[in-house]
Amino acid sequence: MFNFSTDIVDFLNNLSAREKILAGITGLGLFLFLLFHFVYLPLFDRWEVSNQQLVNLQHQYAKALRTSNNASLNKQNTAQSPQNAQAASSPIAQFLKDIENAAGNHVLINRFQPYSPARAQNRQQTRKNKSDIITLQVEIDCIGELPALIAFIHKIEQSDNYTRVRNSYFAPAKQRNEKLKCQITVTRLFSV
């Protein structure tokens, strides 16, 4: 009779040390190949499809916002006036108001500086983005205790789906009283 498990054990016992090492390396290589091919690649493909769907939904949302903004502007049928300029800048004002509200009483904002328009225009030209989305980035220097700073960053990101904290840097404040100095860069996307 043919007993498969005992035949394999006998075969492995008859191998020299060098052949056992080569068989182990080959088995490990085969295992890694199968793991890569049947586990990693399907997960990566699924992530890539989800990421593409997210980008498509963001573009659809931006297009819907543009369409609704254009429809509301066409309904007004008014000439250029200060009210129209205020309506166009209202998302930016709302963005700044969201940051102030997120700071509350526990975080002190020392400096609030938007990126220069020249830098933003150069970035948009290099991206060659045709979807009329404006990126507003703001650099903020603030002081507060660590839990308050973390809550501040969390509130900023939760204020809008298109708002993200890009960079953050924490350092001890010059006053030695458990406060930290924080520099963060906040980005929000607007559709035009």
Query: Tens of pLDDT along 6-65?
Result: 888 888 888 898 998 998 999 999 999 999 999 999 988 888 888 888 888 887 777 777
Q: Which domain holds residue 144?
A: 83-191
> Could you tell me if 155 and 144 are in contact, meaning their C-beta atoms sit under 8 angstroms apart?
no
Note the Cα 152 to chain centre separation in Å: 17
Q: How many helices (H) and strands (E) does the chain have?
A: 6, 4
Q: Are residues 176 and 95 in the same domain?
A: yes
Question: Can you tell me the distance from the alpha carbon of 103 to that of 87, in angstroms, rounded to the nearest whole number?
Answer: 25
Model confidence at 121: pLDDT above 60 = no
Tokens linked to 174 = 């010059």
Domain count within the chain: 2
DSSP-derived secondary structure for 91-149: HHHHHHHHHHHHHTTT-EEEEEEEPPHHHHHHHHHHHT--S-EEEEEEEEEEEE-HHHH
Band (pLDDT 50/70/90 cuts) for residue 170 is confident
Tokens 């060659």 -> residue: 128
Last residue of a domain, one of 61, 77, 93: 77
Determine if the pTM surpasses 0.85: no
Mean pLDDT within 123-131: 51
Q: Are residues 121 and 176 in the same domain?
A: yes
Tokens 């970035």 -> residue: 123
Last residue of a domain, one of 20, 52, 77: 77
Q: Are residues 98 and 114 in the same domain?
A: yes
Q: Are residues 173 and 130 in the same domain?
A: yes
Last residue of a domain, one of 77, 93, 112: 77
pLDDT of residue 72: 63
